[in-house]
Amino acid sequence: MSFRPVFIAVVIGFALVIAAFLVNRQRPRVETAQPTAALVRASGKCAECHSQQQYSVVHEYELSLHARKGINCLDCHQPAQGQQRVEHKGFVIAPKLTAGNCRSCHEQIYQEFLRSRHAAPAWAAVYGQQSLTPEQVDFSERFQPGATKRPPHPFVALEGASSAQSGCAACHSVGKPNDDGTIGTCTVCHTRHTSSVAIARLPTTCGQCHMGPDHSQLEIYDESRHGVMFTAERQLLNLDAPPKTLTTRDMFVPTCATCHMSGLNGQKVTHDPSERLSYYLADAITKARPDYERAQANMQQICGQCHSSSLVKRVYTDAAKVVETTNARVQAASDIVSKLRKDGVLTTPPFTQPIDFLYFDLWHYDGRTSKHGAFMGGADFVQWHGNYPILAKTVELQAQAAELRRRHGRP
């Protein structure tokens, strides 16, 4: 027997092992890393194909805690209760995912979210109560009185469906009612596939919606000492820290989430940011909330993890004064316009005269901005984007009112 065939057999055998190893290495990590056959079937098949179709989806998923805990593609994509079922490459998946696909494993968080203004009230603010079932309205009204039982916003009709859909609804869809009976989406803050708390804790994540002249929270934060410190020290913060054990050693500079949601140093984590709010700052005339004292104590306990109580009291006392003076100025402007209507000088429907917009901008942009700035460290917003334009617009409003009265012969 010659040595040649044995040599060839050994070489071929070795080549096969190497090839198998190389092929295996090409397979997506999720497939090979899954501990059980069932997981390989569910996750591996989706991932194998989709890493060619949309690599980034699979990659983002691989970065998630879900992947590390063995939650697979199908765990989220399978039809939840009340959802449509579609055949997809040998699997049954839901054509559209909602909060319903998360609640199966995160029911308590879903319930908290449901009580918040990020749920039904966000949608009702645009499309009114008729876009929700009576049960959904009643449920939400128990926790957020007056926020859901309301007509559609006048701008939906005035600006038209396309603008409402791509404008208002893009932000307010955080609380959109879904066909499966659930409300809202969790992925505006957590993203679809990273399911990350680090991303949810970034100011820019909240700032997707909380920005612009009518709710300048991101801009205010950016100019506040907190925002400046965040930019300076971001790489030292442990943005990934598990929420249940988050301490000021992880987050020694606050972001939006720290003040409004996190459970810093053993405080309660919440998916209902109203729990820490004592005023209705977004309203034209700001009133205290029903649970004013408890809410203020909740928030001050968060400030108190990093500050002395005297500093915190000073901020609240000063901000309460800004609320008071802003209320008085907005009320004075409102009185000018309602008196024009009462006297029969202004008889046109709302939002058809320049003076309607002048008053709306005064409270909706400048009034809100001054109040938000006062609580969140935005001096420029209290002053140059707040009280100064209120002053200027009040003068303009008086001039327009006088001109309207003159034209109507009713000075």
Q: Which two tokens stand for residue 196?
A: 């990350």
- Shortest distance (Å) from residue 55 CB to ligand HEC: 10
Does the footprint of ligand HEC cover residue 30 (CB under 6 A)?
Answer: yes
- Shortest distance (Å) from residue 294 CB to ligand HEC: 11
Q: Give the whole-angstrom CA distance, residue 261 versus residue 264.
A: 9
Q: Give the whole-angstrom CA distance, residue 297 versus residue 309.
A: 11
Q: Find the binding residues for ligand HEC in span 61-100 (CB under 6 A).
A: 61, 65-66, 69, 71, 73-77, 88-89, 91, 93, 96-97, 99
Q: Find the binding residues for ligand HEC in span 249-268 (CB under 6 A).
A: 251-263
Long-range CB contacts (within 8 A, 24+) of 275-281 = 276/302, 279/323, 279/371, 281/323, 281/368, 281/371, 281/372, 281/375
Q: Find the binding residues for ligand HEC in span 275-334 (CB under 6 A).
A: 277-282, 296, 299, 302-303, 305-307, 312, 315
- Shortest distance (Å) from residue 13 CB to ligand HEC: 32
Q: Which of 189, 345, 382, 397 binds ligand HEC (CB under 6 A)?
A: 189
* Cβ-based nearer residue to ligand HEC, 143 or 404: 143
The 3-state DSSP class for residue 404 equals: helix
* Cβ-based nearer residue to ligand HEC, 191 or 353: 191
Does the footprint of ligand HEC cover residue 237 (CB under 6 A)?
Answer: no
Long-range CB contacts (within 8 A, 24+) of 40-49 = 42/72, 42/73, 42/74, 42/75, 42/91, 43/72, 43/73, 43/74, 45/89, 45/90, 45/91, 46/72, 46/73, 46/74, 46/77, 46/91, 47/73, 49/89
Does the footprint of ligand HEC cover residue 181 (CB under 6 A)?
Answer: no
* 2 CB-side CA count, 13 A: 3
Contact range with ligand HEC by CB under 6 A, out of 15-23, 245-253, 383-391, 393-401 = 245-253
Does the footprint of ligand HEC cover residue 378 (CB under 6 A)?
Answer: no
* Cβ-based nearer residue to ligand HEC, 147 or 346: 147
* Cβ-based nearer residue to ligand HEC, 210 or 393: 210
Does the footprint of ligand HEC cover residue 115 (CB under 6 A)?
Answer: no
Q: Which of 40, 120, 122, 390 binds ligand HEC (CB under 6 A)?
A: 122
Instruction: Give me the phi and psi of 92, to 5 degrees please.
Output: -110, 120
- Say what the alpha-carbon torsion angle 329, 333, 339, 341 is, to the nearest 10 degrees: -150
In single-letter form, the type of residue at position 58 comes to: V
* Segment holding 86, helix H or strand E: strand 86-88
* Cβ-based nearer residue to ligand HEC, 368 or 393: 368
Q: Which two tokens stand for residue 122?
A: 């966000």
Does the footprint of ligand HEC cover residue 40 (CB under 6 A)?
Answer: no
One symbol per residue from 211 to 230: x for binding ligand HEC (CB under 6 A), - otherwise; what is it?
Answer: -x--x-xx--x---xx--x-
